[in-house]
Homo-oligomer: A and B are copies of this chain.
Amino acid sequence: MTKGRLEAFSDGVIAILITIMVLELKIPEGADGEALRKMLPAFLTYVLSFVYLGIYWVNHHHMLTMTERINGKILWANLHLLFWLSLVPAATAWLGESHGAVLPTVVYGATLLGPAIAYYILQNAIIAEEGPGSRLGAAVGKDYKGKISPLLYASAIALAFVNPWISDALYVLVALMWLVPDPRIEQRIRGNGQTG
């Protein structure tokens, strides 16, 4: 089975998610600075979610570059990941409207924790098909980021009941941690020559 359509479909869904979030950015009612200032929390949440979806797209791209074969289980593990990502725009809009509230912060954390777990399941499904001696298996062998992130999301969800701003800080922190692309995988891709 070819991975071409899996990539194309995932690109499509993530491209749509990353852009429809902007539809939730309500246009300011008025043309003055006050109207614009009211948009700020929603805008900042939008930026954060854009970065998160961008991270998933880049990592998904890296992972699939190293994937040779796919099967039905991988198709569904991928749809499972896309399902969780599809909840990000709604959670973003809710958090953007009620910054500092406990429940929207918890739900936002859940829509980050969900894809993190789904990504892990997808990665394992691919490695199961390719074998642990595969390039992907070797590259993610010491994937500390993938292991730390869910723990940080879970902590952020718990800490929202103490103070939602701590959670927000953690969400930003994890995003920054991921923004640096994983040198080990990219190195391996280069070392291999003609991937893709």
**Residue ranges of A at the interface with B (Cβ–Cβ < 8 Å):** 1-2, 4-5, 7-9, 11-20, 22-25, 27-28, 30-33, 36, 47, 50, 54, 57-58, 61-62, 64-65, 71-73, 75-76, 79, 82-83, 86-87, 89-90, 93-94, 97-98, 101-104, 107, 179, 181, 186, 189, 195-196
Contact assessment for A58 and B79 in the assembled complex, using a CB-CB cutoff below 8 Å: yes
| A32 CA / B71 CA spacing, docked (Å) | 42
Residue contacts A-B, CB under 8 angstroms, 21 given? A1-B189, A2-B196, A5-B7, A5-B61, A15-B16, A16-B16, A17-B22, A18-B86, A20-B22, A22-B86, A23-B23, A25-B90, A27-B90, A31-B102, A31-B103, A32-B103, A47-B83, A50-B83, A58-B72, A58-B75, A72-B181
> In the complex, which residues of chain B have a beta carbon less than 8 angstroms from the beta carbon of A54?
76, 79, 83
Chain B proximity of A141: nearest CB distance (Å):
19
Contact assessment for B14 and A9 in the assembled complex, using a CB-CB cutoff below 8 Å: yes
Query: A196 touches which one: B4, B12, B30, B186 (CB < 8 A)?
Result: B4
> In the complex, which residues of chain B have a beta carbon less than 8 angstroms from the beta carbon of A30?
98
The binding surface of chain A is classed by DSSP as helix
Closest chain B residue to A106, Cβ basis: B36
Contact assessment for B97 and A27 in the assembled complex, using a CB-CB cutoff below 8 Å: yes
Closest chain B residue to A185, Cβ basis: B72
Query: A36 touches which one: B9, B19, B36, B103 (CB < 8 A)?
Result: B103
> In the complex, which residues of chain B have a beta carbon less than 8 angstroms from the beta carbon of A12?
11-12, 15-16
Contact assessment for A1 and B195 in the assembled complex, using a CB-CB cutoff below 8 Å: yes
| A101 CA / B101 CA spacing, docked (Å) | 34
Contact assessment for B93 and A27 in the assembled complex, using a CB-CB cutoff below 8 Å: yes
Q: Knowing A13-B19, A19-B17, say if A181 contacts B76 (CB, 8 Å).
A: yes
| A62 CA / B75 CA spacing, docked (Å) | 11
Query: A11 touches which one: B8, B33, B47, B79 (CB < 8 A)?
Result: B8
